[in-house]
Amino acid sequence: MKVKIGVVGAGTMGAGIAQVAAQAGHRVVLTDTNPEQLKKAEQQISSSLLKLTEKGKFSSEEAEEIKNNMAYSTQLSELQEAVLVIEAIVENLAVKHQVFTQLEQVVSPTCILASNTSSLSIASIGSCLQDPSRFLGIHFFNPATLMPLVEVIPGVATSSENTQHIEELITSWHKTAVVCKDTPGFIVNRVARPFYGEALRIYEEGLADFATIDWAMTTIGGFKMGPFTLMDYIGNDINYTVTETVFAAFYFDPRFKPSFTQKRHMEAGFLGRKTGRGFYNYQEGSVAPAPNRNEALGQQIFERILVLLINEAADAVFMQVASPTAVDLAMTKGVNYPKGLLAWADELGAGWVLERLEILFAEYGEDRYRPNPLLRRKAREQSKFIL
């Protein structure tokens, strides 16, 4: 019999994580202090399983078995037999400390405790535990049932045995697990910042409008969504907050500087699709703006954003956040990039990337364009990131 998994927090992410574990055959207990939220989560899971059944992913019998694997409770005491508990609640350190302090009194001494946090440090969350060696980050991406990537983040106190066990467990759930260091933004939310930030900078300089920048990144770059379409999809409030959090956490490194354009859109309530207006107007009768399909301009936009993304990926490797393979897996599986950024650098040549960054650095004199030492080394040695 598969072991029992606990999930704390029955919001969209918590319900999705619980469903993933139940689909892997585990007995799952989803807890939340709000009974109405638990009902919504149960409806969300039932609706998701129905869609998957209609698509032929499961038979009706298998879907029913997955539902039977699920239990819902308002009491943390229901998690006493769990071998793993994943917290997916509000991004508030004090609230998380309160939950984990209670959890440690409920679960067995061998139960692994984890947080789905995307913005708080694993060390800071785990500091409230008597045994922080059993605590780590397990960061799923939304929607958890569909997105293949899971970042596994050990804290400085996490035991290597627990990290390895969770990596193997997540892999057995048919997910792509990448292990990374406990640094702000982990891999994806750190490396992806230039995709948004440099697009906003290009707009603010008056080089191109939203539609043209999106056209360049999708048509020339091969990305599934342009940065402004994606920010509208994510929500400008959410995307801006992540940028601001990463910027502050990196001691205000200029590479992660937020944009006034996005802040003003957020302040005006132009949050994106969910409010009917973001960088684009989604209200009925609105006409999508036409891009300037100038190939030379499009290539310039694409290359400028791409080299900054590659530079950030190189920095993640240089600072030992994750291996080159893990970084590329994270970006292709976590945010659907058309290629791994470091494999892309190998294809174009580190010297090609470095030359374009040095032109930008010389032009602007800003640290946001400073080439990473590892990129310089690869260019000098004419070697590759992915061996």
How do residues 16-55 score in pLDDT, each as one tens digit? 999 999 999 999 999 999 999 999 999 999 999 999 999 9
Q: Are residues 173 and 212 both part of a single domain?
A: no
Q: Given this model, what pLDDT does residue 196 score?
A: 98
Q: Are residues 195 and 92 both part of a single domain?
A: no
Last residue of a domain, one of 115, 146, 179: 179
Residues 6+ apart with CB under 8 A from 375: 310, 311, 314, 345, 350, 353, 354, 357
The CATH number given to whatever domain includes residue 362 is: 1.10.1040.50
Active-site residue identified among 69, 115, 121, 189: 189
The CATH number given to whatever domain includes residue 130 is: 3.40.50.720
Active-site residue identified among 118, 259, 311, 372: 118
Last residue of a domain, one of 120, 151, 179: 179
- Write down the H helix ranges in 154-192: 160-172, 188-191
Q: Are residues 130 and 28 both part of a single domain?
A: yes
Q: Given this model, what pLDDT does residue 387 score?
A: 85
- Check whether 9 has a pLDDT greater than 90: yes
- Check whether 1 has a pLDDT greater than 70: no
Q: Given this model, what pLDDT does residue 119 score?
A: 85
Q: What angle do CA 313, 318, 323 make, to 5 degrees?
A: 70
Q: What would the pLDDT profile of 141-167 be if each residue is shown by its tens digit?
A: 989 999 999 999 999 999 999 999 999
As a whole number, the mean pLDDT across the chain is 96
- Check whether 336 has a pLDDT greater than 70: yes
Report, as an integer, the average pLDDT of 289-304.
98
Q: Given this model, what pLDDT does residue 212 score?
A: 98
Domain count for the chain: 2
Q: Give the span between the Cα atoms of 180 and 161, in whole angstroms.
A: 15
Q: Are residues 301 and 373 both part of a single domain?
A: yes
pLDDT band at 58 (very low <50, low <70, confident <90, very high): very high
Q: Give the span between the Cα atoms of 352 and 333, in whole angstroms.
A: 26
Q: Examine the residue annotation and report whether 139 is marked as an active-site residue of this protein.
A: yes
Q: Are residues 159 and 99 both part of a single domain?
A: yes
Q: Are residues 168 and 194 both part of a single domain?
A: no
Q: Which domain holds residue 86?
A: 4-179
What torsion, rounded to 10 degrees, do the Cα atoms 216, 311, 166, 248 define?
-90
Q: Are residues 250 and 169 both part of a single domain?
A: no
Q: Are residues 355 and 383 both part of a single domain?
A: yes
Report, as an integer, the average pLDDT of 331-356.
97
Q: Are residues 172 and 223 both part of a single domain?
A: no
Contact 341, 309 (CB under 8 A): yes
Q: Examine the residue annotation and report whether 189 is marked as an active-site residue of this protein.
A: yes
Contact 158, 135 (CB under 8 A): yes
- Check whether 290 has a pLDDT greater than 60: yes
Q: Are residues 158 and 242 both part of a single domain?
A: no
Q: Is residue 32 exposed (0-12), middle (13-18) or buried (19+ Cβ within 10 Å)?
A: buried
Structure pTM? 0.94
Q: Is residue 362 exposed (0-12), middle (13-18) or buried (19+ Cβ within 10 Å)?
A: exposed
Q: What would the pLDDT profile of 71-114 be if each residue is shown by its tens digit?
A: 999 999 999 999 999 999 999 999 999 999 999 999 999 999 99
Last residue of a domain, one of 179, 204, 224: 179
Active-site residue identified among 139, 167, 265, 312: 139
Q: Are residues 166 and 197 both part of a single domain?
A: no
Active-site residue identified among 104, 151, 167, 312: 151
Q: Are residues 89 and 19 both part of a single domain?
A: yes
Q: Examine the residue annotation and report whether 151 is marked as an active-site residue of this protein.
A: yes
- Check whether 224 has a pLDDT greater than 70: yes
